Amino acid sequence: MAITFIFFLIAARLLYVQVFWSGKLKLRAFDQWNREIPIIAQRGKITDCNGSVLAGNQTTYSVFLRPNAVVNAEYTATVLGGIFGKEPKEILDKINGGKISEVTVARQTDKASIEKLVSYDLPGVYYSRDNSRSYTYGETLCQVLGFTAYDGSGVAGIEKFYDSVLSGADGEITYTTDIVGIETKNPEIIYREASAGDEIRLTVDIDIQLSAENAMKSVFLSSGAKSVSCVVVNPRNGDILAMVNYPSYDLNEVPRDDMDKLNALTRNGTVSDIYEPGSTFKIITAAANIEEYLRGNPKAFSNSYVFNSSRTRTVDGTKIKCWSTHANGKHTNQTLATALNNSCNPCFTDIALALGKDTFYDYLQNFGFGNVTGIDFSGEALGMLVPRTAVRDCDLARIGFGQTVAVTAVQLACAAAAAVNGGNYYMPRLLKSVISADGKTVADNQPVLKNKVISEQASRILAEMLEGVVKEGSGKHAYIEGYKVGGKTGTAQKYEDGHVAQGKYVSSFVGFFPADDPQYLALIIVDEPQGTYYGSAVAAPVAKEIFGDIIEIKGLTPFE
């Protein structure tokens, strides 16, 4: 009986090994009697909208060793240490460690080092081609493009967001070896080709990007600001034409050894950071009022309505003041157009309160505030909007002129674009198309119309008013003779620990042209400029510089 039981036990074990475990055992045997040399796939390029290469590749090499196949450990460690600048003892310890079947000696090394390695013909040492990422313009667009890890995978930015598209599929060369990993005399060679990654073509125009970067660097240095940022968008379809954050860093020299510095410099603040917009938000309040008036809402103000000329409004016991003293007859007889010109806070307080919480919040929601835009980039912030159920009249009053609300740069740029482009809210996008290694377009990323925020008529009226702001009002430093430029300035106080931070402001400007058919819109943000801090003086001239460059780059003729 016992013998029968043992027999069945052995038979069951044999059945398990031969049937259920056979696959794993074959793989172990294959790995034991073969050596694999990886073939790293060529990573896809990242290009601008015209095909200019922003991120490409340089051919480099990785070096490996198999401790079991090394013949002279000390000699091998000494040679490898000398060629690749490594400590020989560290390599020797890995060879003699007995726990690692394969050791990586060097990555992304140059051809000269490989030629020197080959001359020594070291048993157990081999190399394969890999790729080093190369960024054509260094620090330009650095927070958008992102960078890769040593193994070639995307770590940040577009490199990370579209890593699966860019990375391709690695291949390998397999050689037969003996039990310790030494290549046999007549090895059987199996070659599996690598598949190159696809090209990511962005909506970004490198010429406009370079212009925006130069302009933002200049204002950063001249204003002594903490940081500056800029978004240039095509209002017709949501294409991001330029995106700038400064200070920046060189993508070809990523500060990997300083994590705090790396995290600070690689953050795309235009997407991930929020700020209180101040008077640039009056574009949205004005848009809501104009649309409601055209719809026949009796609570909305007509374009000819003259606002109360008092400098202050008191709401829920809170006094709201205009930035101007209203002395000597200033800010009197203001219509909506002149209130925009003068950026008079009380007038926009009146509009928000007159429209009421529900109506005004419907517009805020439709314009995308308190929610993500859906841009194809990781880490997008929601912004901050007081919940509709919790908002008080004093909150509503301040939201009307851009306080008690926080937005991202891309959020405000897209909302402003929708307000002046005919009322069409397009999802912002960085991806234009995906192109295969053989040059075929495999995906064409079409514009996405998310919402109709206001009517074309309301949008046209608003754009005309904002053109007046640049011609006659606070945005006159963005005026370009012969071109219809519209815009709105903003100067917002900063808060720290719930209190106004004395002497700290965010200066901004939203500009667009041509005003009667917007093709380009730019949002300029200057954080904590020193000395002069008004958006009209600090930010508006930057938009003028960028628009002037675009006119020259695109060969645009005067519109008027």
**Planar angle of CA 281, 428, 340, nearest 5 degrees:** 20
Cα–Cα distance for residue pair 335/168, rounded to 1 Å:
59
Q: Tokens 């599929």 map to which residue?
A: 169
Extended strands (E) in 76-155:
103-109, 125-135
Q: Do residues 488 and 321 lie in contact, with contact meaning Cβ atoms separated by under 8 Å?
A: no
Chain-centre distance for alpha carbon 434: 18
Q: How far apart are the first and last CA of the chain?
A: 107
How many angstroms separate the Cα of 18 from the Cα of each of 249, 306, 546? 58, 92, 72
Cα–Cα distance for residue pair 451/429, rounded to 1 Å:
15
Q: Do residues 131 and 57 lie in contact, with contact meaning Cβ atoms separated by under 8 Å?
A: yes
Question: Which of 132, 211, 279, 536 is an active site residue?
Answer: 279
Q: What is the DSSP letter of 227?
A: E
How many angstroms separate the Cα of 140 from the Cα of each of 228, 358, 498? 14, 43, 36
CA atoms within 13 A on the CB side of 522: 31
279 in active site: yes
Q: Do residues 528 and 220 lie in contact, with contact meaning Cβ atoms separated by under 8 Å?
A: no
Q: Do residues 315 and 399 lie in contact, with contact meaning Cβ atoms separated by under 8 Å?
A: no
Query: Which string of b and e fits 54-66 if b means at least 16 CB within 10 Å?
Result: bbbbeebbbbbbb
Amino acid at 475: G
Helix (H, G, I), strand (E, B) or coil at 340: helix
Q: Do residues 542 and 216 lie in contact, with contact meaning Cβ atoms separated by under 8 Å?
A: yes
Cα–Cα distance for residue pair 291/449, rounded to 1 Å:
19
Crossing angle of helices 456-472 and 282-294, in 10° steps, is 140
Helix (H, G, I), strand (E, B) or coil at 95: helix
Burial class (CB in 10 A: 0-12, 13-18, 19+), 494: middle
Point out the residues that are catalytic. Answer: 279
